[in-house]
A and B are shown apart, each in its own frame.
Chain A
Amino acid sequence: MKKTKSVVVVGSGIAGIQASLDLAEIGAEVHLVEKTPSIGGRMAQLDKTFPTNDCSLCILSPKMSECARHPGITLHMNSELLSIDGESGDFSVKIKENATYIDADKCVNCGLCEEKCPTKVTDEFDAELRERKAIYRYFLQSVPANYVIDPKYCLKITKGVCGLCEKTCPAEAIDFDDTDKEIAIDCGAVILATGIDAFDPLVYGQYGYKKFPNVVTSLEFERMLCASGPLMGHVVCPGNDKEPKNIAFIQCVGSRDRENAKNYCSSVCCMYAIKEAIIAREHIKGLDATIFFMDVRAYGKDFDRYYERAEKQFGVEFIRSRVAKITELPGGDLRVHYANPDGSKDTRDFSLVVLSVGIQPRKDIQQLAENTGIKLDEFGFCRTGEFNPLDTTRPGVFVCGAIGGPKDIPESVMAASGAVSRAAKLLELKRQEKVSKKEFPPEKDVFGDRPRIGAFICHCGINIGGIVDVPSVVEYARSLPNVEHAEEVLYACSADCLETIKQAIVEKNLNRVLVAACTPRTHEPLFRETLREAGLNQYLFEMANIRDQCSWAHMNEPEMATIKAKELVEMGIAKARRLTPLQKLPVEIDPKALVIGGGLAGITAALELADAGFRVFLVEKEPQLGGNFARVKFAFNGGDPQAFLAEKIREISDNELVTVYTGAGIKGIDGYIGNFKTTVALPDGKSIELEHGVVIVATGAREYETEEYQYRKSKRVVTQLEFEKLLAEGYLTGKPIQNIVMINCVGSREEGRQYCSRLCCAQSIRNALKVKELRPATDVYVLYRDIRTYGTKEKYFGEAREKGVIFSRYDLETKPTVEPINPENPRSKLRVTSFDPILGRKFAIDADLVVLAVSIDAPAENEELAKMLKVPLNADRFFLEAHVKLRPVDFATDGVFVCGLAHCPKNSAESITQATAAAARAMTVLNKMVIEAEGSICEVNPELCAGCGLCVEVCPYAAAQMDEEKGVAVINEALCKGCGACAASCRSGAIDLRGFTNQQIYLAIDSLETVEIEG
């Protein structure tokens, strides 16, 4: 029953934001409910993100702004979910909007009230490292940006005295008569994205948290590192205000701890500790960083390379040990007591200890479960199914983000988009006719006007301002011709700074804008939209990259960095003088999808899209659907993967909207978003041409064909997937199988495959448990390098040890060996020899069977497909997404998406999540009738064109064509992608690329070398 296009999203961290944006783009009316005064959630508190060290707020900020400005999203700030009544597709949700005593529409964020407020409160956003007032802004870059009053501490509210703020406020925004309001929202679905809490380490008395001031949590440390945090990024020990000489990170605080009911792995701490160690070393020269860990769980895409860089390039020390206790030394330094691998005890002294606190369900999760009628799992996370990772126990209520269990940012983003696909089918969503719901003021005609340029130079906290002398760059910009206005801004991308830019455009009558900040690749769209909001054509904007390609790259040469920043600003201004308004061409969307690959991911994506009413072509190269998943025999929860798969395949064949081509290959892909044409080679030798609007790449991966450990030489050596087949076929039944040895990381995490295959640790343990279930007498040995049972899979690691599975670690330098006991006999049992670091010696097992957890390999064919789609691969040949944190299913090329093993190794639940996400991302395109083409495209000046046709020959998109009648070239604007190959091939300059014109580039070149060197 589809009644409404309204949907409620609870929680506005990165998951809630992504879900809201995707839903709004599909055409839903989103009510985003947030408890705090700002959206952004946990990610807004982070300094940097792994494994790219991207500045967290820098990449989040544009999304926050976009979310707040999207006409399809209504924000309910300071609000809580009270109840969900009704049923899937027809809910009535009650929320409570708490009184903030401030009219957000009136508040101008001037901060005068805050100055006058006499009440100081510890600030929860800054991890209680700083004090704020009772009237406050949640954080510097809050969205929305208005102030709120904390009624728990406000003297006027608690005691009826004071009221200074009300007297001070110039905007008359303060309203002490404000009351809590209950609101009912009719909606078709609810998405819960309320996130997690950080573990409170007080229960670990032995670590002295709160007792020893120089023991801090990782979240506190994150705020200490952050340039906009309480210490402005200048890390000092809280106990003695000294810069630390060395820092210890203690892992698994509140994770992998059965005694404290935390029998799960928090999944993110290893990586964030490595990140914090690297960043801390950047902040403090000569700092030593040591990480005390149990296993380094660098299981994600490109995580292992990051781990390796930390160790080899940044000199971070890793000690495999559980820390017993911490004691304080006179002066505030700390002594860490720990055990060596051989059991001997040791101590080390540190200036600062960071407890890598785990993720735990929110304290109020029980209340939420009751309010929403959903069930929780044994850990207090939201209960989901192994094959339905986004569905709660209540139909119509979905989850995303870490509420369903520990997740990092990209996994949360994937789950968010995934939940959108699940929810979308319950909503009444028509294909949208108009390009943008958002209304912009009419564009001011600047034709013929003298350039009046506004230059905004961003500090980016201390990211730029800490190195580049921003005020002098502003002065320099101001001195340049046509610059009517120049000013410095703290964070150009924050909502209040965007407002500043808009005001300046209006007040100073600016007709060109330059922002010198980070990279236009991520931030140009945001600023362009700001121009539109101020009534300027969005192409009258130019960026100078003075952070990524200046301050960050020349940190040790502040003077030279400042000169370079001036030069970059001057080049930008030179180009800006010649910017002209451009218009975008509407492109019609063919509402059909091509899914390449019919494994678990492809099947899931195809079904999600078909369920939402879109026509899907599913192309699989094998004669049948199922991919690798067809070989998976067991699930952790006792579920039956093959029954699940059979059901899905039946759904596919029953669904009229899905056409399946098995035994088929992709021969060629032409076209662009909304209008692809793909040639598919069919098994009968014929080929067909499919027309579609989007492409989802779900081509999967395969088991590595190893030459190690007697594989393919002895029948007694099999891979884990082959072993599952043996088990399912009764390998253990009635046979005296004595010893089974599993070897992990075969091919993974070594030269040539410097990545973790992610799912094999859990797979080994699952199969080991299966052996123990089927034949407890059989001994199972697991030889591993690190056990990476991240998330709630950790409990099975414990269970396996309980059931007697023997785990022995090996290093890359001391790999196990496998030799036949009797080389003459091809059926001989195998002797496995390995060095155990705890025993300190070698040991040997005579194995009936050796099971190899081989790495997951990206197929060589990926290269061909990548070329056809014009999308990139990473160094390991997996498809490279548009952004590893925030665009994990998109490619840079519009209309093409990726999911499943084609993206990187992942387990079946993760593949399902990503495939569902890919479907949702595809829907954001397919559910529109038109989108807009690029405005920066080529044009021909027919007066100058000699009609030589070189442009026609070099154009890869057939956009340049000859007008035979007139003897000149013409550009098809819908086909032109704006590469400019034709413009550079045109000798007479008859073709030019709008937005990158010859003149603009010459002027940028000409502006060279006029920066005066001071001193």
Chain B
Amino acid sequence: MATDKNNDFTPNIIGFLCNWCTYTGADLAGTSRLQYPPSILPIRVMCSSRVDPLFLISSILRGADAVLVGGCHPGDCHYQKGNYYTRRRFALLKKVFDTFGLESDRIRLSWISASEGPRFAQVVTEYTGKIKELGPNKYAEEVFL
């Protein structure tokens, strides 16, 4: 969590972005100079299916305020069907979060294509707002990890 001049809470959102769609879309948002909050910290992966649900659990336990998994739209996967597996794994994890009352809003799966720079900016902006409402991730202060 970082705080800006006005002491506003700026969440840390780890973004697992697939190289071919969402990462490219994020680059496009930049080249188009679309402005969005500096909350997202991208980790580039070649495919969203690389994202082990444990990465998300680990991120949240280590204090990330949220995790965004970004992949190609269903059917557009550069690796044919990786994002379908991603979706199943994510659905499972989200259910685990829900079952334990763990603020499953702190994990998000979004499909953002290489040409959707504006959508990337919008998703980050909107998600940042949502996480601001949720407040900082309490796990960041917990001693028992």
Direct contact of A and B (CB under 8 A): yes
A: residues with CB less than 8 A from B are 52-55, 282, 519-521, 545, 547-550, 552-557, 559-561, 563-564, 567-568, 571, 867, 870, 872, 874-875, 880, 892-893, 936, 954, 956-957, 977-981, 983-985, 993, 996, 998, 1001-1002, 1004-1006, 1008-1009, 1011, 1013
B89–A984 contact, CB under 8 A? yes
How far does the Cβ of B75 sit from chain A's closest Cβ, in whole Å? 6
CA–CA, A919 to B140, complex, Å? 56
B78–A893 contact, CB under 8 A? yes
CB within 8 Å for A554 and B35 given contacts A870-B79, A981-B82: yes
Q: Which residue of B lies closest to A565 (CB)?
A: B38
Q: Which residue of A lies closest to B26 (CB)?
A: A549
User: B41 at interface (Cβ–Cβ under 8 A)?
Assistant: yes
B78–A870 contact, CB under 8 A? yes
CA–CA, A552 to B43, complex, Å? 18
B33–A53 contact, CB under 8 A? yes
How far does the Cβ of B99 sit from chain A's closest Cβ, in whole Å? 19
How far does the Cβ of A27 sit from chain B's closest Cβ, in whole Å? 30
Q: Which of A547, A560, A880, A1005 contacts B55 (CB 8 A)?
A: A1005
CA–CA, A1001 to B27, complex, Å? 21
With a cutoff of 8 Å between Cβ atoms, the chain A residues found around residue B121 in the complex are 553
How far does the Cβ of A591 sit from chain B's closest Cβ, in whole Å? 26
CA–CA, A996 to B33, complex, Å? 29
With a cutoff of 8 Å between Cβ atoms, the chain B residues found around residue A52 in the complex are 28, 31-32
CB within 8 Å for A559 and B50 given contacts A52-B31, A521-B27, A567-B41: no
User: What number of A-B contacts does a CB cutoff of 8 Å give?
Assistant: 160
Taking A547-B30, A548-B31 as known contacts, 18 extra A-B pairs with beta carbons closer than 8 A to each other, sorted by chain A number, are: A549-B29, A556-B35, A560-B2, A560-B4, A560-B10, A564-B41, A567-B41, A568-B41, A571-B41, A870-B80, A875-B115, A981-B85, A985-B85, A1006-B62, A1008-B63, A1009-B1, A1009-B140, A1013-B3
B31–A521 contact, CB under 8 A? no
Q: Which residue of B lies closest to A519 (CB)?
A: B27
B38–A563 contact, CB under 8 A? yes
Q: Which of B3, B53, B63, B79 contacts A979 (CB 8 A)?
A: B79
B: residues with CB less than 8 A from A are 1-5, 10, 12, 14, 19-20, 23-24, 26-38, 40-47, 49-53, 55, 58-59, 62-64, 75-82, 85, 89, 113-115, 121, 140
6 A-B pairs with least C-beta separation: A980-B50, A548-B30, A981-B49, A979-B79, A552-B30, A979-B47
B81–A956 contact, CB under 8 A? yes
With a cutoff of 8 Å between Cβ atoms, the chain A residues found around residue B30 in the complex are 547-550, 552-553
B140–A956 contact, CB under 8 A? no
7 contacts between A and B (CB under 8 A): A282-B33, A519-B27, A548-B31, A984-B50, A984-B89, A1008-B12, A1009-B63
A983–B62 contact, CB under 8 A? no
CB within 8 Å for A981 and B50 given contacts A870-B80, A1008-B14: yes
CA–CA, A813 to B36, complex, Å? 35
With a cutoff of 8 Å between Cβ atoms, the chain B residues found around residue A996 in the complex are 45-46, 50
With a cutoff of 8 Å between Cβ atoms, the chain B residues found around residue A564 in the complex are 38, 41
A954–B55 contact, CB under 8 A? no
B58–A1005 contact, CB under 8 A? yes
B41–A553 contact, CB under 8 A? no
How far does the Cβ of A660 sit from chain B's closest Cβ, in whole Å? 30
Q: Which residue of B lies closest to A873 (CB)?
A: B76
How far does the Cβ of A815 sit from chain B's closest Cβ, in whole Å? 29
B2–A1011 contact, CB under 8 A? yes
With a cutoff of 8 Å between Cβ atoms, the chain B residues found around residue A984 in the complex are 49-53, 85, 89
CB within 8 Å for A545 and B50 given contacts A560-B4, A1008-B62: no
Q: Which residue of B lies closest to A557 (CB)?
A: B38
With a cutoff of 8 Å between Cβ atoms, the chain B residues found around residue A892 in the complex are 20, 78
CA–CA, A53 to B73, complex, Å? 25
Q: Which residue of B lies closest to A570 (CB)?
A: B41
How far does the Cβ of B110 sit from chain A's closest Cβ, in whole Å? 16
